[in-house]
Each structure stands twice: as C-alpha cells, then as structure tokens.
Amino acid sequence: MTDPQPLGAPDSGSVPILELEDVGFRYRSGTAALEGVSLTIRTGEAVGIVGESGAGKSTLLRLLLGLDRPTIGAVRFDGSPLDGRDRRRVRRFRASVQAVFQDPYSSLDPRQRIDRIVGEPLRSLGLEDASGAARRATAALEAVGLPQDAGRRYPHEFSGGQRQRIAIARAIVSNPRLLLADEPVSALDMTTRIQVIDLLAELREQYGLALVLVSHDLGTVAALCERTLVLQGGRVVEAGDTAQILHDPREPYTRRLISSIPRLPR
C-alpha cells in the first residue's frame, strides 16, 4: 500500500483504465445479455451500474474483469485490447483491476489464515514471495481498519462486515487502480453497510482508486459514485451524472427503479 495517488492529481481524471466499446455479449444458451454497451472508466472515478435483476450488470462486470470476452465490440485496458498471450500485460491487468463480491461468507477459504488469504493475489501473480506477501497483507488489513492480529486468525472468527473488509483488503493488496464491486454491501445489515460504504469512499480518496459499483440499490450508488449507468435488458437506457439521474431521471424505467428504494439520500 505504498505511494498512494491522491484524487485530483494532475490529469488524474483523464486517463482511461478500462474501456468497453459497443460491446455485445451472448451466452451459449443464446441469451443476449448485453448489446451496444460503451463505458470508459478513468483514473480515480466511480461509476455505478444499476438495473433490475437480469439487466446484465453481472455480465458487464465479468467482461470488465476479463472473465468473459465480448461476442462483439472491444475491451481495452490502458488503451489497447488484452491479448492472453502477452503474459506480462495480463499480470499487470490482474494486479490493476481487482474485485469484491457480494457474499463475504463463501468468498474466504475457511482453512486459510487471513494473512495468507489477503496475500494470495501477490503470490499467484508472482509479485511477492510468502514473506513479502504476508508483510503487504498486514498493511492492507490495517488500511481496511481491522485489528493488528487479524492476519493470524481465521475467517470464522470474523463477522460479516469484517469479512467484507478482509475481501476488500485482498482486493487492494496488489495496489490496483480499479476496484470492481458487485453488490458489496447487500448481504450486510444497515449499520455495517454504512461502515463498508465509508471504507470504500476512504480507499478511493486515499489511493486514487477508481470504482465500478454494481448495485440494485441506488442509495449505495448515490453515496459512492459521481456517474451512473442504467441498464435495462442489456442496453444502456440512461447514463450520466448520478445526482441528475436520481433527481431528474429521463427514462420511466429509471423512475421506477428510484421509486423502488425506500429513501433517497440527498
């Protein structure tokens, strides 16, 4: 967790990390999950992806993470497409783009010590040996606000919120530039939810981390993201400034999404 890049550093808002250009994706079953989606994620910015269940949010995230390739259109990392044969560049991509998922219970191996779990990306990417990985894991655990001895303990000793902090520590240990978060607080109770949202906001500011947040909850998106993309049936129906979309949505679909949340944070 060395050399944090403050938000607002020169040109920090203008460097595209990941770009989707006119992307379509069709599952083997024939389902067209995405069509004509374009999205640019720049250094330090936070983009929310919203839409009802089945809208294509998870599929979009899988494309951004490189877990699937688009059926049509282009995905670019640092300005050019990823070629699986360029191992060094794939490694740089993996270190630079990390993810956190919804369920903090199933995502941590119960038999592994926390410092080993958190240091795993560094070992598997060949960036550190075991002792270097453990050292950086300890720093990452501190950065997410866990107690000093957390690394020596096991997942079952932690609550849901703490486990999500551990998952976040693992996601930031390789000093990524972009964090993809798929419903990161949906499994948590309301108080813990707010704490984890605050942590994500802090990490963004401290490390200049860009964030893509997938959520069906517009309140969480409003708390974290300046920009929002609304998906319906695999297409972008509305995109732009989060406050504008929340308070003056153009599309009836977006209006319905907004009215389905109990209270709008202003």
Q: State which residue, 37 or 167, has the beta carbon closest to ligand ADP.
A: 37
Residue 214 CB, nearest approach to ligand ADP (Å): 7
Q: State which residue, 53 or 148, has the beta carbon closest to ligand ADP.
A: 53
Q: State which residue, 29 or 148, has the beta carbon closest to ligand ADP.
A: 29
Answer for the pair 138, 173: CB distance below 8 angstroms, yes or no: no
Q: Is 53 in the site for ligand ADP (CB under 6 A)?
A: yes
Q: Which of 20, 39, 43, 51 binds ligand ADP (CB under 6 A)?
A: 51
Token digits of residue 167: 């998952």
- Specify the DSSP element, H or E, that contains 117: helix 114-124
Residue 106 CB, nearest approach to ligand ADP (Å): 17
Can you name the residues that pair with 40 across neighbouring β-strands? 19
Q: State which residue, 52 or 142, has the beta carbon closest to ligand ADP.
A: 52
C-alpha–C-alpha distance, residues 73 and 188, integer Å: 36
C-alpha–C-alpha distance, residues 164 and 129, integer Å: 25
Answer for the pair 178, 211: CB distance below 8 angstroms, yes or no: yes
Q: State which residue, 35 or 115, has the beta carbon closest to ligand ADP.
A: 35
Residue 67 CB, nearest approach to ligand ADP (Å): 11
Find where tokens 């551990």 sit: 166
Answer for the pair 66, 40: CB distance below 8 angstroms, yes or no: no
Answer for the pair 158, 172: CB distance below 8 angstroms, yes or no: no
Q: Is 58 in the site for ligand ADP (CB under 6 A)?
A: yes
Q: Which of 55, 179, 187, 257 binds ligand ADP (CB under 6 A)?
A: 55
Residue in 77, 179, 173, 169 with CA at minimum distance from that of residue 121 = 173
Q: State which residue, 55 or 185, has the beta carbon closest to ligand ADP.
A: 55
Q: Which of 44, 56, 70, 73 binds ligand ADP (CB under 6 A)?
A: 56
Residue 30 CB, nearest approach to ligand ADP (Å): 8
Residues of span 5-34 touching ligand ADP by CB under 6 A = 27, 29, 31, 33
Q: Helix 190-207 to helix 160-172 angle, to the nearest 10 degrees?
A: 20
Token digits of residue 194: 């707010």
How far is C-alpha 101 from the chain's CA centre?
8
Q: State which residue, 168 or 214, has the beta carbon closest to ligand ADP.
A: 214
Q: Is 54 in the site for ligand ADP (CB under 6 A)?
A: yes
Q: State which residue, 12 or 58, has the beta carbon closest to ligand ADP.
A: 58
- Please tell me the count of residues contacting ligand ADP according to CB under 6 A: 12
Q: Is 229 in the site for ligand ADP (CB under 6 A)?
A: no
* Span of 55-63, 95-103, 172-180, 219-227 interacting with ligand ADP by CB under 6 A: 55-63
CB neighbours of residue 6 within 10 Å = 11
Residue in 199, 177, 165, 137 with CA at minimum distance from that of residue 7 = 177
Which positions touch ligand ADP (CB under 6 A)? Answer: 27, 29, 31, 33, 51, 53-59
